[in-house]
Amino acid sequence: MTDALRFEWVRIRTLRSTYWLIGLGLLITAGVAFIIAFATRNDDPSPGNVASVLTGGAEFATFIPIFMAIIGVFATGHEYRHGTIQPTLTAIPQRSRLLMAKILMVSFTAIVVVAVSLLINFVIGMIFWSEVPSFEAPLNEVIPGYFVLVVLYTILGLALAQLFRGVPSALVVLLIVPLLVEGLIGGLSMVPALDWLQPVLKFLPFSAGARLLATQPYDPQGGPEFDYFDRWASGGVFAVFIAIILAAAWVLFKKRDA
């Protein structure tokens, strides 16, 4: 396992795309944080505002998750794209060990990137905040949720690339499903004749995953019957979706030829 982890560490830190994606994610997220902090500079640093600054948009904070998911895609997709999967499996024939090493390494990278992003955005916020904010609800749940969401996105990218054995198909799923498919279902559910779609909304994986960054408290006694689950249950919906894809990719990786 040590050899597989060392191999993945060398691979991920020698790809230029790793630095480009991380740099762009940090830069764009910091820019969004600056805009939010500037726009709310005359308001008290409420937990909701602070959460939006730290994550770069709360439920709409998609840049770090997507860029880290692309790093996950490249962790396996690049090997099929450039034909290096065969020498990799020759050096590390234990396929489960290799895949686990990839998951651990990209997950570790995601955690570090989120921590750095939170630190940068906190410094940006302190430029405008009159006092250090208190890390109370929902902030005390949004921050752990941010770590979980980004790690899940990263593993999803890896799983999709392994399932499709390439980069393009995995990127299509990552970008098209949340933006178009889930958006279309949400829009159609507003049509009276299609309101039967509304109870399905809470099971849409990407939309459910975004609830990990929700700044509004969840009231199980209020709202329509198709309200989302609470924060962690919604995260569980996203995690189950990823687990299914990862399991399928893992089984096929062990059965298929390189």
Could you report the per-residue pLDDT of 66-79, keeping only the tens digit for each? 999 999 999 888 88
Residue 201 in tokens: 């909304």
* CA distances for 131 relative to 32, 45, 49, 123, angstroms: 21, 8, 13, 12
Cβ neighbours around 222 below 10 Å, total: 7
Residue 220: per-residue pLDDT: 43
| pLDDT value of position 152 | 97
H helices within 41-94, ranges in order?
47-55, 63-81, 85-91
Question: For a pLDDT cut of 70, what percent of the chain falls above it?
Answer: 95
Residue type for position 106: V
Q: Which two tokens stand for residue 204?
A: 């849409």
- The highest-confidence range among 6-20, 111-125, 175-189, 216-230, by mean pLDDT, is 111-125
Alpha carbons within 13 A on the beta-carbon side of 56: 23
Asked whether residue 198 carries a pLDDT value surpassing 70, the answer given is yes
Distance CA 153, CA 146 (A): 11
The Cα-based distances of 240 to 144, 156, 235 in angstroms read: 18, 11, 9
pLDDT band at 239 (very low <50, low <70, confident <90, very high): very high
Per-residue confidence band for 258, with pLDDT thresholds at 50, 70 and 90: low
Contacts 24+ apart (CB under 8 A), 86-89: 86/258, 88/7, 89/258
Residue 221 carries which DSSP code? T
Percentage of the residues of the chain whose pLDDT score is greater than 90? 43
pLDDT tens across 74-97, in order? 988 888 877 788 888 778 878 888
CA atoms within 13 A on the CB side of 90: 6
CA distance 234 to 211: 6
Among candidate residues 23, 243, 55, 60, the one with its CA nearest the CA of residue 146: 55
Lowest mean per-residue pLDDT among 38-42, 55-59, 105-109, 184-188: 184-188
Is 132 in contact with 125 (CB distance < 8 Å)?
no
Please write the tens of the pLDDT for every residue from 207-222: 899 999 988 754 444 4
